[in-house]
Amino acid sequence: MVTDQLPNLDQSSFKLPQQELLSPSKPSTHPPRILMLYGSLRERSYSKLLTLEAARLLEAMGAEVKVFDPLNLPQPDAAPDTHPKVKELRELAAWSEGMVWCSPERHGAMTGIMKSQIDWIPLSVGAVRPTQGKTLAVMEVSGGSQSFNAVNQMRILGRWMRMLTIPNQSSVAKAFLEFQEDGRMKPSAYYDRVVDVMEELVKFTLLTRDATPYLVDRYSERKESAIELSKRVNQKSI
């Protein structure tokens, strides 16, 4: 279709997608940087144990992994964004190239602890979106039968944060039966699925991290000046 048949199109902002721009001439060689968040403060937290098990797998696959401890993170808007735990979380989010979110399912949903962490990660800083184009894997644990409510909710949040949520996911039912006394996960189909999910996350991160600026370059935003874009994405918080 030729562009002269599209009168609503801004010709100066329109770009034809190009295959070669998805393959950088100098691909990154550093380990994939993965931030892991879990959604419980319990002493024996199964979401934390599952996160740590996944972290070991990611490190075995060559990733650099950092796990954020949500203890002492204030509720959103209950403290300034200069709070040490808020600063730590935001710095880790900026550092990362991909994330893993792991929450217990409580009352059919992710926990408030999980949601608070995500809410503290800004959707935008100036005209920059800290999570845009980064990869995401989601996992959940439950005390009863297998459910997918929490992972489904986190997928919606990942899309809202403009992240690339991978197709695979993990949901561990009756989590109290799946971990040994020392906190290590027992061999099972659940464990094998966690391996699958982490492997997929690393692959997607390696595939997309160098192409992220191109993947998130949008026609509508090219039409705006940097000042106009900053004003729009930084509207006063509700």
Give pLDDT tens digits for 6-57: 989 988 889 999 998 998 888 999 999 999 999 999 999 999 999 999 999 9
List of residues 6+ apart from 91 with CB closer than 8 A: none
Banded model confidence at residue 123, pLDDT cuts 50, 70, 90: confident
**CATH 3.50.50.60 applies to domain 30-70+88-218:** no
Do 166 and 137 form a contact (C-beta atoms < 8 A)? yes
pTM confidence score: 0.89
What are the extents of the domains in the chain? 30-70+88-218
Predicted pLDDT of residue 203: 98
Backbone phi, psi, residue 225, to 5°: -75, 165
**Among 61, 6, 69, CA closest to 36:** 69
pLDDT tier, 148 (very low <50, low <70, confident <90, very high otherwise): very high
**Which residue intervals of the chain are DSSP H helices?**
46-60, 84-95, 112-120, 149-160, 189-208, 212-215, 219-222, 226-233
pLDDT in tens, 93-116: 999 999 999 999 999 999 999 999
Which residues, in sequence order, are bridge partners of residue 33? 64
Query: How many beta carbons lie within 10 A of that of residue 117, not counting itself?
Result: 23
